[in-house]
Chain A
């Protein structure tokens, strides 16, 4: 089955700096890669996703890159703000209503 590795497990940055979270996956058939943000005690919220036919996608301060050859994808958050503090999960799926495999999560702390 799919195996998704995520690092770092914790990340502290100063407000205004950038944060980068990296993930690798094992299943070459995976073609959908969502990123979720989860605040303490709350549901995971989809923040951005990318499909295998795209190498990069950007939404305001958030961007995701995908390297299918190397089987890795990354989340980039620029100009971090305290409200960005949360746990971020990467995930991989074959799409088509199939299950999603999550990484272990990265706890991001933005220090004011």
Chain B
């Protein structure tokens, strides 16, 4: 149980285009999902907290107009990188917390999306 999927697993795009990444909780509902960015050999950097039915909460230094997050249902959150540039190339990982009530602490991670911007 507690499986999270991401699509696509990798994407290559041209500079200036937009890319959408999907994060799905397959066997549970999640009101809260998180989006991380991970550079090679570095830790996970939280970009934003995605809450179903409300606006995402962005971490300091993360441009909300560049990284659009939509959490339209209890099983799906999307991250759109708008007008992507080479410096946006990275490994993007989502996570989700099972349940709509309860303790609400354990996060389960998706497999990640490798974005390369040419």
Contact = CB atoms under 8 A, between A and B. Distances in A.
A43 B43 contact: no
A43 B44 contact: no
B26 to A, nearest CB: 14
Nearest to A89: B43
- The dominant DSSP class at the B interface is loop
A43 B111 contact: yes
B106 A44 contact: no
A97 B97 contact: yes
Contacts, number: 52
A6 B109 CA distance: 21
B44 to A, nearest CB: 5
Interface residues of B, number: 21
A8 to B, nearest CB: 14
A11 interface: no
B44 A44 contact: yes
B31 interface: yes
A95 interface: yes
B116 to A, nearest CB: 14
Contacts of A95: 103-105
21 contacts: A32-B105, A34-B106, A34-B107, A43-B111, A43-B112, A44-B44, A45-B109, A46-B108, A49-B105, A49-B106, A89-B43, A95-B103, A95-B104, A96-B105, A97-B31, A97-B32, A97-B105, A99-B34, A99-B46, A104-B42, A104-B43
Interface of A: 32, 34, 36, 41-46, 49, 51, 89, 93, 95-97, 99-105, 107
